[in-house]
């Protein structure tokens, strides 16, 4: 049995080193592609940054205007709006999807019966998945 392996030659050290380098480069390329795909996806989401600009209660207790700012670098649209008297009981309000361009403020006007001195909870949802949640207190008296 020992005579069988005695005459076989192993691969040369140069070929072995070259093979290890090729395997390492292939692993680096695969890792780089995965990282670029992952960070590219996250960067696209982060380029939309929504902020509350203003809330205006008026219309003798029937209208609320919400101004939303997109301080990011990508455009989106406001597709859903939820309002309620607690964060767990918000109801979906019917709105028309509204474009929210990068660097601009957009007003959402909604017919909603509100009461003075009541805290309302809002959730503005964009087409890219961001959710802007905030509480806001109605004024102390009805505003025409």
Asked if 49 contacts 38 with a C-beta cutoff of 8 angstroms, the reply is no
Percent of the chain topping pLDDT 70:
88
User: What does DSSP say about strands 91-93 and 76-84: parallel, antiparallel, or unpaired?
Assistant: antiparallel
User: What pLDDT does residue 14 have?
Assistant: 87
Residue 55: pLDDT above 90? yes
How high does pLDDT run on average in the chain? 89
Over residues 7-24, mean pLDDT: 84
Lowest mean pLDDT among 40-54, 62-76, 121-135: 40-54
Asked if 100 contacts 50 with a C-beta cutoff of 8 angstroms, the reply is yes
Tokens read off for 9:
């030659």
Percent of the chain topping pLDDT 90:
67
Over residues 112-136, mean pLDDT: 95
Residue 22: pLDDT above 80? yes
Asked if 83 contacts 91 with a C-beta cutoff of 8 angstroms, the reply is yes
């Amino acid at each position: 049995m020992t005579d069988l392996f005695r005459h076989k030659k192993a691969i040369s050290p140069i070929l072995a080193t070259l093979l290890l380098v090729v395997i390492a480069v292939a692993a680096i390329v695969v890792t780089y592609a995965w990282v670029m795909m992952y960070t590219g996806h996250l960067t696209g989401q982060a380029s939309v940054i929504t902020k509350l600009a203003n809330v205006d209660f008026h219309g003798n207790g029937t209208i609320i205007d919400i101004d939303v700012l997109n301080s990011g670098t990508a455009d989106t649209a406001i597709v859903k709006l939820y309002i309620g008297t607690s964060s767990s009981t918000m109801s979906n309000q019917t709105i028309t999807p509204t474009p929210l361009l990068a660097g601009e403020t957009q007003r959402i006007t909604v017919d909603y019966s509100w009461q003075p001195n009541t805290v309302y909870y809002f959730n503005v949802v964009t087409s890219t998945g961001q959710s802007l949640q905030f509480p806001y207190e109605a004024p102390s008296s009805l505003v025409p």
